[in-house]
Structures are given as structure tokens and as C-alpha cells.
């Protein structure tokens, strides 16, 4: 029997955070044996916010090395750079023609990012979720492992698949999201009501997968908590809740076990121990990354063969789509 298909991606819009790791990449790793997985570095998405070209280039390559260092095995999964497969942009155009302005304008990420945008709003920010739908639908994806913030975009991808299938006949598989109960929404260390994000202007808000030990200790020590002084897991104490979430996903212990152990103890101890748990979780990744980042030839080989494999699959779907909408084959 053929394996089911998984697709996911992250933007090279900075350096990856432990939010990206816990909400997405850690789960990608677990799916590799059971599924046929495609993991992309979505550079086309990244340019919807201002990027410095040379940084985008280095972040893209760095991100590939981080994927592999986190445990994505290029022998098992297809790793590729989104802009290397033009079918993503081409399918986006077709999907644009069946996307509703109203639905796109209700996307939370669009509303948030457009509020932050200082210049004129660019149209790419608006059609961002259509490109994401194209990413997913091109591979006839069954499952999309993402963090909680992408749920609405997944819903749109499903809607577009169904709408296209109804209008032109069965063409796309309708994908399902995979969002874990814990780790799917890691919050900013400086504002526990906002999602941890790699493009946050305050670097104390996030921990990067590649942050060194002292930086991790310092950032966790400074994390915003509350004045209740009780270690408990609830929505009145979002800062502590977030620290407990991180503790649990990194250590594999349940929230309950952790809360019981810290009963009656102070926030300082919890933070110190959490920092060590995070450091321990990230160390093997960082060591592997250091090795990989020296080997540019190897990375180039991976993204080149990944693009070939991805393109082959993507083109099968794109040809079908072009035929169905009435384009004459060349
Ligand atoms: P940016 O801040 O540049 O918009 P981002 O940090 O939100 O980016 P993306 O590249 O957009 O990261 O997301 C990659 C994956 O990481 C997605 O599946 C997303 O849901 C997940 N993710 C991002 N931030 C978090 C978070 N704070 N907690 C859990 N998962 C997250
Ligand atoms: N929009 C996603 C990144 C992304 C993605 C995808 C995730 C682009 N294309 C396809 C899953 C499947 C984000 O996390 N901001």
C-alpha cells in the first residue's frame, strides 16, 4: 500500500525558534517512517514581509541545516526550497481565481500582520494563505502538521480543494491538519498573550533553536510571570502555563508530574531547571547543526535532489489542474 502524504513548511524569515520546533518540526520528525513527507523552506512566503536579500539567502540555507539537525532525514523525507518548484506559484494563480476576498480578509494572521505593516500593505500578504493552499494541494497531501496559529489557513486550503473539486471535478485530496495538544502554541516570554515568533522585534520574547546556553538561561530568567507566586497550570497564569508547556514537551513528563514536583517552590527554581531542560534538548541539535553548516556541498546536494523529487509530484497535479480549467497543453 502506498504511504499517505505529509506536507509542511516554515518561513526563512529569521532563525527558527523553539516555538517552531515544538509546534512543528519535532512532530515532522515523528511522521517520517509512516508517511511520505515533504518539508519545505517557504521562501516565497517569507518575502511577504520585508527581507534583506543576503539574510534571506543565509537564513534559507541555515534553515535546511536546522531541519536536518532536528532529525529530518533526507533519505526518508523530501527537503526542498519552495521557490525551486515554480508549480507553487503557478497553482497559486489558479487558486486565486476561486478565492473569495471576504474569506481572505478574515484571516487572523493577515489582520495582525497588516496592522504591524508600516508601509503600504502589499497584496502578497493578502494572498499568502492561497500560496500555502497551493503548497499543500500540489502534493495531494493527507496530513499537515502545524502549530495552532495555522489552523485557519488549513481550513482555507480545505475549502479551496473542495471548491475546485466541485467546480471542475475531483482533482485535489482534501487535507487534514495535525495539531498537537501540547506545544502547538508556545507564547512569547515577554508577553504570554502573544505567540512566540521569530520575527518579534524583542529578542527576549523568543528562544532560538541555536541560542547558546547563557542566552537561554538569561531569556528564561527574564520571562514575564505573575505575582501570585504559585506554580499551577491555568489561564490566570499564562506566563507560568507557558513555561510548564515548554518543560513538558521538552522533558516528555506530563504537566501534572511537573506541577506536583514544584508544589510550594518558587518561580526562580522552576526557571533555572527549565533552562537546563531546554539546553539539554537543544544541545544535540546544535552539535549536529555545527557539523552540517560547514558542509555546504552536502546541503546543496540535498536541496537539489529534493527540488527534483518535489517538482515531479507537483507537476503531475499542476498538469491536471491546467487541463481541467481549459488550458491547452503545450
Ligand atoms: P514569523 O514570525 O516570521 O511569522 P513564525 O515564527 O510564526 O514566523 P512560521 O515559519 O510562520 O513561523 O511557522 C512555521 C511553523 O511553526 C508553523 O507550523 C507554525 O504553526 C509553527 N509555529 C510558529 N510559531 C509557533 C509557536 N509560537 N508555537 C507553536 N508553533 C509555532
Ligand atoms: N504559513 C505557514 C508556513 C507554511 C506552511 C505551508 C505550513 C507555508 N506553506 C504549507 C504548512 C503547509 C506558517 O507557519 N506561517
Residue 187: inside a domain = no
Report the percent of the chain where pLDDT is more than 70. Answer: 100
**CA–CA distances in Å: residue 20 to residues 62, 74, 140, 159:** 14, 19, 24, 25
pLDDT band at 214 (very low <50, low <70, confident <90, very high): very high
Catalytic residue among 26, 62, 180, 195: 195
Closest ligand 1 atom, CA of 11? 10
Residue 120's pLDDT is what?
81
Q: How far is the CA of 150 from the centre of ligand 1 (A)?
A: 8
Q: Is the CB of 179 under 6 A from ligand 2?
A: no
The verdict on whether 113 is a catalytic residue reads: yes
CA distances from 267 to 226, 245, 314 (A): 9, 15, 50
pLDDT value at position 5? 98
pLDDT at 182: 87
Burial class of 118 by CB neighbour count within 10 A (0 to 12, 13 to 18, 19+): exposed
Does the CB atom of residue 70 touch ligand 2 within 6 A?
Answer: no
Which ligand 1 atom sits closest to the C-alpha of 16? 6
Quick one: 172 and 208 in the same domain? no
CB of 146 sitting under 6 A from ligand 2: yes
Whether residues 47 and 156 fall in one domain? yes
In a domain, 57, yes or no: yes
What is the pLDDT at residue 147? 95
Looking at the structure, do residues 119 and 19 belong to the same domain, yes or no? yes
Q: List, for residues 62-84, the tens digit of each pLDDT value.
A: 999 999 999 999 999 999 999 99
Q: Are residues 125 and 175 in the same domain?
A: yes
185, part of any domain? no
Q: What are phi and psi of 163, to 5 degrees?
A: -65, -45
Q: Per the domain annotation, does 197 fall within a domain? A: no
Is the same domain home to 303 and 175? yes
184 in any annotated domain: no
CB distance 7 to ligand 2 below 6 Å: yes
Same domain, 174 and 300: yes
Range of the domain at 63: 5-179+296-325
Q: Is 198 a catalytic residue?
A: yes
Q: The CATH number of the domain where 98 resides is what?
A: 3.40.50.620
pLDDT at residue 118 above 80?
A: no
Residue 145 and residue 30 in one domain: yes
Query: How far away, in angstroms, is 74 Cα from ligand 2 center?
Result: 20
pLDDT in tens, 247-306: 999 999 999 999 999 999 999 999 999 999 999 999 999 999 999 999 999 999 999 999
Q: Where are the beta strands (DSSP E) in 11-90?
A: 36-41, 78-81
Q: In angstroms, what is the span from residue 261 Cα to ligand 1's centroid?
A: 31
Rounded mean pLDDT, 11-29: 97
Q: Which three cell numbers stand for residue 108?
A: 487572523
Same domain, 138 and 41: yes
Of 165, 218, 224, 214, the closest CA to residue 191 belongs to 224
Residues 303 and 317 in one domain: yes
Classify strands 176-178 and 143-145 as parallel, antiparallel or unpaired: parallel
62 and 150 housed in the same domain: yes
Taking CA atoms only, the protein residue closest to ligand 2 atom 14 is 10
Q: Please say if 4 is a catalytic residue.
A: no
> What total of structural domains would you count in the chain?
2
Question: Which value, in Å, is the radius of gyration of the alpha carbons in the chain?
Answer: 21
Asked if 228 and 182 count as a contact pair (C-beta separation under 8 A), the reply is no
Question: Model pTM?
Answer: 0.96
The mean of the pLDDT values for the chain is: 97
Q: Is residue 236 domain-shared with residue 266, that is, in the same domain?
A: yes
Burial (0-12, 13-18, 19+ Cβ within 10 Å), 101: exposed
Q: Where are the beta strands (DSSP E) in the chain?
A: 5-10, 36-41, 78-81, 143-145, 176-178
Residues 171 and 118 in one domain: yes
Q: Is the CB of 178 within 6 Å of ligand 1?
A: no
Going by their DSSP bridges, the two strands 36-41 and 78-81 should be labelled as parallel
For the chain, the 3-state helix, strand and coil shares in percent, each to the nearest 5, are 55, 10, 35
The verdict on residue 300 lying in a domain is: yes
State the catalytic residue, choosing from 180, 198, 241, 271.
Answer: 198
Ligand 2 atom closest to the CA of 135, numbered from 1: 10
**Is residue 193 included in any domain, yes or no?**
no
Amino acid at each position: 500500500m502506498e504511504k499517505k502524504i505529509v506536507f509542511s513548511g516554515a518561513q526563512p524569515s529569521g532563525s527558527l525558534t523553539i516555538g517552531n520546533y515544538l509546534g512543528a518540526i519535532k512532530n515532522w520528525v515523528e511522521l517520517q517512517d509512516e508517511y511520505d513527507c515533504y518539508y519545505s523552506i517557504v521562501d516565497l512566503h517569507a518575502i511577504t514581509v520585508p527581507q534583506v536579500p543576503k539574510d534571506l539567502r543565509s537564513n534559507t540555507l541555515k534553515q535546511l541545516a536546522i531541519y536536518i539537525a532536528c532529525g529530518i532525514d533526507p533519505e526518508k523525507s523530501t527537503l526542498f526550497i519552495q521557490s525551486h518548484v515554480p508549480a507553487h506559484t503557478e497553482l497559486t494563480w489558479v487558486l486565486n481565481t476561486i478565492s473569495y476576498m471576504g474569506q481572505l480578509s478574515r484571516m487572523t494572521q493577515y489582520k495582525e500582520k497588516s496592522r504591524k505593516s508600516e508601509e503600504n500593505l502589499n497584496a502578497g500578504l493578502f494572498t499568502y494563505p492561497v500560496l500555502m493552499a497551493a503548497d499543500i494541494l500540489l502534493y495531494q497531501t493527507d496530513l499537515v502538521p502545524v502549530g495552532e496559529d495555522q489552523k485557519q489557513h488549513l481550513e482555507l486550503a480545505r475549502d479551496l480543494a473542495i471548491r475546485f473539486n466541485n467546480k471542475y471535478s475531483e482533482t485535489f485530496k482534501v487535507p487534514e491538519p495535525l495539531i498537537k495538544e501540547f506545544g502547538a502554541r508556545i507564547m512569547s516570554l515577554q508577553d504570554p498573550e502573544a505567540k512566540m515568533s521569530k520575527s518579534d522585534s524583542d529578542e527576549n520574547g523568543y528562544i532560538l533553536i541555536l541560542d547558546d546556553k547563557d542566552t537561554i538561561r538569561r531569556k528564561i530568567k527574564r520571562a514575564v510571570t505573575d505575582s501570585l507566586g504559585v506554580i499551577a497550570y491555568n489561564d490566570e497564569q499564562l506566563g507560568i502555563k507557558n513555561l510548564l508547556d515548554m518543560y513538558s514537551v521538552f522533558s516528555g513528563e506530563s504537566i501534572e508530574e511537573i506541577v506536583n514536583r514544584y508544589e510550594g517552590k518558587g518561580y526562580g527554581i522552576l526557571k533555572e531547571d527549565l533552562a537546563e531542560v531546554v539546553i539539554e534538548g537543544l544541545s544535540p541539535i546544535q552539535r549536529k547543526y555545527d557539523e552540517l553548516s560547514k558542509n555546504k556541498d552536502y546541503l546543496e546536494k540535498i536541496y537539489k535532489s529534493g527540488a527534483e523529487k518535489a517538482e515531479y509530484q507537483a507537476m503531475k497535479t499542476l498538469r491536471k489542474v491546467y487541463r481541467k480549467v481549459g488550458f491547452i497543453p503545450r
